[in-house]
Amino acid sequence: MKILITGGTGLIGTEISKQLLEHGHSVVYFSRSPRKNNLGIQEYAWDVDKGTYDKKAFDGVEAITNLAGAPISERWTAAYKSEILRSRVDATRLLYTAVQKLSLPLNVFVSASAVGYYPNDFNKTYNEDDAPGSDFLSLVTQKWEQEAQNFSKLNIRTVRIRVGVVLSNDGGAFPLIAKPIKMGLGSPLGSGKQWMSWIHIKDVAGIFVHALENKDAQGIYNAVSPEPVTNTQMTEAIASQLDKPLWLPKVPEFAIKFALGEMSTTALGSNKVSSSKVEKSGYSFSFPNLDGALQSLLPKA
């Protein structure tokens, strides 16, 4: 297939692109500032704020993977919260408008979402049919998914993928989690009991590719490993892999809230999420357990 990716040069988009190219597909990007990239993929200009795009990007495209959205790792001012929401909703809406206007014969539309959709809970295991939460990230993912689901109205196979905490050395939360542990200053956050539904970068990209290639894939899938862990278990596992001691007390919740503001919910929130549905669809995890994932990311000297 020829696949158009938004957010293709980001952490997940880059790995998806690599896997698609390995599978013999062709890839093009929409980018705010087209430039040469390391994979040699053609980039075309679009401007979500202005609602403009280069029509050439759609030539021969049979599938779209939508990853566009402002990072959630910046401090959540009122203005930036608006940007987090608008960047996702408006980008998805612009793609829908373009596909409709150009009568593009699209086979499949695959859009990112996040496990932040689910309520904060320390006990329940969530699956794709569960109701959403009511906090900011849940609101964002709900509106994002609603825009993506509009593609099904055009008789296009539509898939929404709720991504967990991505483990990669190249970006995202993992380097931030591992850095203090590498320095011998690691410690669980808050109670340490909050669940982390993590996934290796190879597997999150693999699930997107699976959704694109598997004609039976439709609806919502959680992109999380089969074995979620608590924040304490994650911290201890990284420390063990690095042969580093954990001697500091847990970082108190008030300190995290003071440092991060409302964004502290990303560190203190608890989401235990099931991978059962994506496994039943035929996806086989390369890194189903944390030890194997950490060994691939933090090889011992």
Q: What is the pLDDT of residues 75-121, one digit of tens each?
A: 899 999 999 999 999 999 999 999 999 999 999 999 999 999 999 99
Question: For 278, what's the count of Cα atoms within 13 Å in the CB-facing half-sphere?
Answer: 31
pLDDT band at 299 (very low <50, low <70, confident <90, very high): confident
Residue 266's φ and ψ, nearest 5 degrees, are -70, -25
Residue 73 is predicted with a pLDDT of 86
Quote the strand ranges of 32-174, DSSP E.
Answer: 42-47, 52-53, 63-66, 108-114, 125-126, 157-163, 165-167
- The mean predicted confidence, pLDDT, of the chain is 96
Q: What's the CA gap between 283 and 15, in Å, rounded?
A: 17
Using alpha carbons only, give the angle 209, 213, 217 rounded to the nearest 5 degrees.
95
Q: Where are the alpha helices (DSSP H) in the chain?
A: 11-22, 78-102, 136-149, 174-182, 201-213, 231-242, 253-260, 265-268, 276-280, 290-297
Residue 74 is predicted with a pLDDT of 86
Taking residues 235-251, report their average pLDDT.
Answer: 95
Report whether 235 contacts 246 (CB < 8 A): yes
The two tokens of residue 44 are: 């075309």
CA distances from 43 to 6, 113, 127, 142 (A): 10, 23, 36, 29
CA distances from 116 to 177, 197, 234 (A): 18, 10, 19
Residue 215 is predicted with a pLDDT of 96
CA distances from 108 to 112, 176, 296 (A): 13, 35, 32
For 184-226, the pLDDT digits (tens) are 999 999 999 999 999 999 999 999 999 999 999 999 999 999 9
pLDDT band at 301 (very low <50, low <70, confident <90, very high): low
Residue 250 is predicted with a pLDDT of 93
Q: What's the CA gap between 26 and 28, in Å, rounded?
A: 7
The two tokens of residue 27 are: 């890839």
For 33-65, the pLDDT digits (tens) are 999 999 999 999 999 999 999 999 999 999 999
pLDDT band at 295 (very low <50, low <70, confident <90, very high): very high
